[in-house]
Amino acid sequence: MNQLEQLKKFTTVVADTGDFQSIKAYTPRDATTNPSLILKAVQKDEYKPLLAKAVRDHPDGSTGDVIDHLLIAFGGEILNIVTGRVSTEIDARLAFDVDGSIAKGRELIHLYETAGYDRERILIKMPATWEGVQAARVLEKEMIHCNMTLLFSLGQAIACAEAGATLISPFVGRIYDWYKKSTGIAYVGAEDPGVQSVKRIYNYYRKFGYQTEVMGASFRNTGQIIELAGCDLLTISPELLQQLADSDVPFERKLSADAAPGANLTQMSQDEKTFRFQLNEDQMATEKLSEGIRAFYADSGKLKQIISGMR
């Protein structure tokens, strides 16, 4: 077996891309998208017709409306390929807007259902801010499932689980980037701070019986992926999927629910004051959350400029 085949024995593999051909090639169960991936995709000739159709079909809509329909178009194409779910991200401007996030989640689900897709196959992707967590609490009660993204700390993870979020996406690579820059150390294997963060969250969830799924994201190398074999899901870029497919070096499962009760962890609860204070005390998580929201907002702005230029 190559490493990708080995990984699929322990973990659900998710494609972190908006590229349909890559999704077909690596046969993941699920796929995730974000504003940066959609921006990258629509600049390729093979995906420009999807953008052109979204613009043409909604001549009187705002650029935001066109983007929503573009997201659904991409998501629908992906759902025609994968057997599982697709994650579709809300506008980054709603990161601190509970009511706005709830409304957008409902709107996107309505658009998917109007297009003929079951809401069980959709994950609404939102930043793991306090406001995002509260929006997820409401949406999950309406059977609108949420993927909490830009997650960098155990405190964020606990709040998401207590809100009943379906899935979280802790960002391994961005945590690694921060610590490498601040310490000058190129961490490898189990010493990688991003890997350690996801392991801690996974063990916490399984030890204390939370049902929220953990999907490691934002990988920089295959070593990080292999260290998290056994995690519920891992969302992986096409480049790293190919590297896994090209290697047949064996590896073992690293995470399991059976081992989690032995983890040295104490159960905590997160109210708003605790959440905000703990996040503030974690310089890495605070900086990376803010940076991520700004980056997704910037790429959404670039996409809006492209749409405006087509009218």
| CA dist., res. 18 & res. 125, Å (int) | 15
User: Which tokens hold the place of 76?
Assistant: 């629908």
Q: Is residue 197 part of a domain?
A: yes
CATH number of residue 221's parent domain: 3.20.20.70
125 among known catalytic residues: yes
Burial (0-12, 13-18, 19+ Cβ within 10 Å), 60: exposed
Residue 33, pLDDT score: 87
Residue 311, pLDDT score: 83
Q: Is residue 311 part of a domain?
A: no
Q: Is residue 146 part of a domain?
A: yes
pLDDT mean values, one per 10 residues, the chain (311 residues): 97 94 94 90 91 93 93 95 96 97 98 97 98 98 98 98 98 98 96 98 98 98 98 97 97 96 94 97 98 95 93 83
Residue 34, pLDDT score: 87
For residue 33, the surrounding DSSP H or E stretch is none
Phi/psi of residue 171, each to 5°?
-95, 95
Q: Is residue 243 part of a domain?
A: yes
Rg (CA), the chain: 19
What region, left, alpha or beta, does residue 230 occupy, with left being phi > 0 and alpha being psi -120 to 50 degrees? Answer: left
Burial (0-12, 13-18, 19+ Cβ within 10 Å), 262: exposed
Q: Is residue 52 part of a domain?
A: yes
Q: Is residue 177 part of a domain?
A: yes
> Of these residues, 9, 40, 48, 125, which one is catalytic?
125
Domains held by the chain: number: 1
- The whole domain housing 283 covers 3-306
